[in-house]
Chains A and B, each alone.
Chain A
């Protein structure tokens, strides 16, 4: 044991500073999770507040419409997870085919732009461009003879609008990670494939995709942690009463009925619930990846 420590001490030493910071600033506050089971009273503090068992959880479950809200959350989150995987992969592959460096670099910069605009700002812009009467999108659709669609006010469209706009805003981010992975694929592999007579499509299939696979699995697994995160900021800035039916999610609902009133017990209970679900999903995929592909995600 001591010999092992002796041999590996530089590795332990490398981790030590990060380990300590995480211990203090991430694990330290985690003790506060017990608020989920307490009636939090500021004067008594986290430790002194009285225990109330599962009351906070029961309160949330007792709210009417809970099942509808959970269903909305999962549907929106799942659609975002799936589209959020596929779109950046395609974008990265397409960019990879571009030979002109300047064009490639320009496109790469531009698709990252929406990431810098917060949902508060984008919300206003989207309401403008998606308006059925004067929005540019519906005017374009009108050219093709499509009747105006009320993307933000129609329950049939609202979820798709959320998913689409979210992907549009964020796909630049993952695209960059995939592109970085692509640059590390050994060019020799392509040359070999070409000698074997593989065309670009086959090269993509047999060389590029396998080269990207580890990072795809990695990002996919990490995104599983978001199975209950449908995106508070986005929904909050885009939804309106007529689309509560399809667009109201756990976070917005709890915000309206609980958080605005500084009910930290309830907020923590919900957070804890979401964390446990995420942990289950991530653990499961970690184990599966290791069992069947002998691959450790992290």
Chain B
């Protein structure tokens, strides 16, 4: 049941996206023919039967206010978040004047937003985190969008937002009411992988990490290496974050900390307090004792691991698809690639396949202010964006290309699309990348990925890497052959994503106790690994977890689960 459910989800993802993608490749295959239909998606798309004409332009223009986080790299010179080609285009095409109530650095967005919320000083629509969404809903400050969504979101939009079977939409639903538009995104991007020095494997005659036993053997063997006077070599890399949340390693033992998993009786139980966790932590404790893990790992951040890697003192670490970006400066010296890295899927300790844990819920949402005058205009923005995203790659110089590429109207490698005020993302972009990019490289035909600026950009970088530009080494490990995207696609094909079975909004006890329990959990994990707590204390932790509110939360989660059936 558990497996089949995951499978169903995975399949529904794929199936729902297929028509859209097919339409895309159709567009690309037959560009000239399709251009007329897609070049002005707003004005000329066939009208859906509705009371308000969602395709007309506001005349005179209306104003929508919002909050923005700024990334200077998005812009061409002379452009800002307030004044740029994309905002101008929305006024031109939709009659919507976008006004930013404030623009702060993207890192400060959430702290500034918290204050605006507390001061009850809100824009018409804006992006919020899951926890702020709860605050806003509790305080009755945002609009119930249940009806508006039905009425104003067009078919394409609905299809895209629910292509995962509706789980991401569910995470914006409170008591059956849709309170926000989830910023849909790929749940697969947080997949963990094994990053390992391939040249060392060859040199030492070690197997590729196909099982957890292999991983342990590799760690043991690597730890005996000589760095040539640069210091002790470690077997497995951990840092102050991962030592309390060693997700990749634990997943190899079928332990899923922080997730709700189904037990044999069909009830949901909390992953961090299961016996598999204990086994895996014991193993890590042994590695630590054996000197295969940096004794200072609990204090060091990841920059130290990268430093070890640069000095040939570390060659095995768990990380997400982008980890090669962190490695770039360590691996490429004087424009030469000095180390050979491989990326592998999470292996398993037994004969069941190893799975990587990912969450089906999203972290960010668009809300509409309760007092907004034109909520339907926000849906116009949404429909419009979905049109841009799925409308095929615009030809160079075409007016609508502005939404993807900014005022240059052509691909420049800048992520200008992020300036759009309302952006939802495909739920499986990088899996598509894994499926198509390497193929495109081989055949020199990027048509299968033309529709996505992100993938196309990666493709171009891979081309440059092949031509000898080592600045793009990192991309070769992300999107290149046997790179992280390939692994993400393989996980997908082999159904090895492990989803959190709970994807509702936080339960009352969770809101009150979650952070406290998380702190306890992290503290216990780290202490066991570094040996300052014995492995038996894990049982005590489980007891304490239950007592401090875990039991109550488990009840609430199972009530939710029963309702979902």
Contacts and interface: CB of A to CB of B under 8 A. Distances in A.
Contact of A242 (B135, B140, B232, B532): B532
A153 B120 contact: no
Interface string B285-321: 0000000000110111101100000000000000000
A42 B135 contact: yes
A153 B526 CA distance: 12
Given A43-B120, A242-B532, A260 B515 contact: yes
A261 B141 CA distance: 17
Nearest to A40: B118
Contact of B299 (A63, A134, A152): A152
A262 interface: yes
Interface string B222-260: 000000000110000000100110000000000000000
A34 to B, nearest CB: 15
Nearest to B532: A242
B306 to A, nearest CB: 13
A256 B519 contact: yes
A240 B515 contact: no
A242 B296 contact: no
Contacts of B232: 133
A244 interface: yes
Contacts of A258: 515
Nearest to B131: A261
A41 B515 contact: no
A14 interface: no
B295 A132 contact: yes
B139 interface: yes
A64 B548 contact: yes
B285 to A, nearest CB: 14
A262 B298 contact: no
A273 to B, nearest CB: 19
B456 interface: no
B530 interface: yes
A153 B299 contact: yes
A152 B295 CA distance: 12
Contacts of A124: 301, 303
B298 A153 contact: yes
A43 B527 contact: no
Contact of A42 (B141, B243, B515, B516): B141
B298 A242 contact: yes
B439 interface: no
Contacts of B523: 241, 244
B153 to A, nearest CB: 27
Interface centre among A40, A63, A240 (most CB of B within 10 A): A240
A44 B141 CA distance: 10
Interface residues of B, number: 36
A153 B527 CA distance: 12
B295 A133 contact: yes
Contacts, number: 74
A242 B530 contact: yes
A124 B304 CA distance: 10
B132 to A, nearest CB: 7
B52 interface: no
B114 interface: yes
A17 interface: no
A257 interface: yes
A256 B515 contact: yes
Given A256-B515, A257-B515, A257-B516, A133 B296 contact: yes
Contacts of B516: 63-64, 257
B117 interface: yes
A285 interface: no
A134 B295 CA distance: 12
B562 interface: no
B522 A241 contact: yes
A234 interface: no
B240 A264 contact: no
Contacts of A262: 114, 117-118, 131-132, 135
A176 interface: no
A42 B114 CA distance: 10
Nearest to A127: B299
Given A131-B296, A133-B296, A256-B515, A42 B526 contact: no
Interface of A is mostly: loop
B1 interface: no
Contacts of A132: 295-296
A88 B231 CA distance: 39
Contacts of B564: none
A127 B303 CA distance: 12
B122 to A, nearest CB: 9
A45 interface: yes
Interface string A26-61: 000000000000001111110000000000000000
Contact of B300 (A127, A256, A264): A127
Contacts of A44: 139
A112 interface: no
Interface in A236-284: 240-242, 244, 256-258, 260-262, 264
A150 interface: yes
The CB with the most chain B CB atoms within 10 A, among A133, A150, A262, is that of: A262
Nearest to B519: A256
A49 B93 CA distance: 43
Given A240-B240, A242-B526, A256-B519, A42 B299 contact: no
Nearest to B300: A127
A262 B301 CA distance: 26
B119 interface: yes
Nearest to A49: B139
A241 B526 contact: yes
Contacts of B527: 241-242
A42 B120 contact: yes
Given A257-B516, A258-B515, A45 B299 contact: no
Contacts of A45: 120
B95 to A, nearest CB: 31
Contact of A133 (B114, B231, B240, B511): B231
Contacts of A261: 131, 511, 515
B132 A241 contact: no
B372 to A, nearest CB: 15
Interface string A108-125: 000000000000000010
A95 B141 CA distance: 60
B333 to A, nearest CB: 20
Interface pairs A-B: 3 shortest CB-CB: A241-B526, A43-B139, A240-B299
21 contacts: A42-B117, A42-B118, A43-B141, A45-B120, A63-B516, A64-B548, A127-B300, A131-B296, A240-B240, A241-B243, A241-B298, A241-B522, A241-B526, A242-B298, A242-B526, A242-B530, A256-B519, A257-B515, A261-B511, A262-B114, A262-B117
Interface of B: 114, 117-120, 131-132, 135, 138-141, 231-232, 240, 243-244, 295-296, 298-301, 303-304, 511, 515-516, 519, 522-523, 526-527, 530, 532, 548
Given A134-B231, A241-B244, 4 more contacts: A42-B119, A45-B120, A64-B516, A242-B532
